[in-house]
Amino acid sequence: MLRADIVRLSLHHIDIKIVNGDRMHVLQWRRNLLWDEVLLDGKRQASSHGLWGREKVYGLVFGRDEEGHGGTQVMFLIDPATHNDWQNGNVRVKGVRLESRDGPLTAFGTLDPRTLEKPATFTDWMKKTMGMDWGEETRPH
């Protein structure tokens, strides 16, 4: 059984902890000035070079044997456009998704399937589109 959690998310770094049975792996994405790279347990798995049009979809295999057979295939997607969180002053990528054959293992932002769901109420719509949250209504005594 494969599980994943986003550990760090910023403009130039994404770290994801992946648990596969009794083994843990670290999947990393790094954005440099002229290239992006994907590392698994500190070893480069893929890279993309250029000023524009760098790769945003990567395929990885966990648990493959020495001949390259078997293992669990996953797809790693990144929306590298920037998102500014004005409340915390953080700038980060807009979306991340790690998906196996059975569906998403972890997802955030624009690549999270929940972002496609329609809001149930007007308050939910305000939270989703404008980031507004009024909290619980309380009246002073």
Residue 113: predicted pLDDT:
79
Residue 132: predicted pLDDT:
56
**Is 27 a residue whose pLDDT tops 60?**
yes
Residue 86: predicted pLDDT:
63
Calculate the average pLDDT of the chain.
83
**Is 107 a residue whose pLDDT tops 70?**
yes
- The pTM of this model reads 0.74
Domain count of the chain? 1
Residue 134 located in a structural domain: no
The span from the CA of 13 to the CA of 43, in Å, is 15
Of 130, 76, 126, 131, the closest CA to residue 98 belongs to 76
The span from the CA of 5 to the CA of 117, in Å, is 22
Residue 120 located in a structural domain: no
User: Which residue segment(s) compose the domain that 51 sits in?
Assistant: 2-109
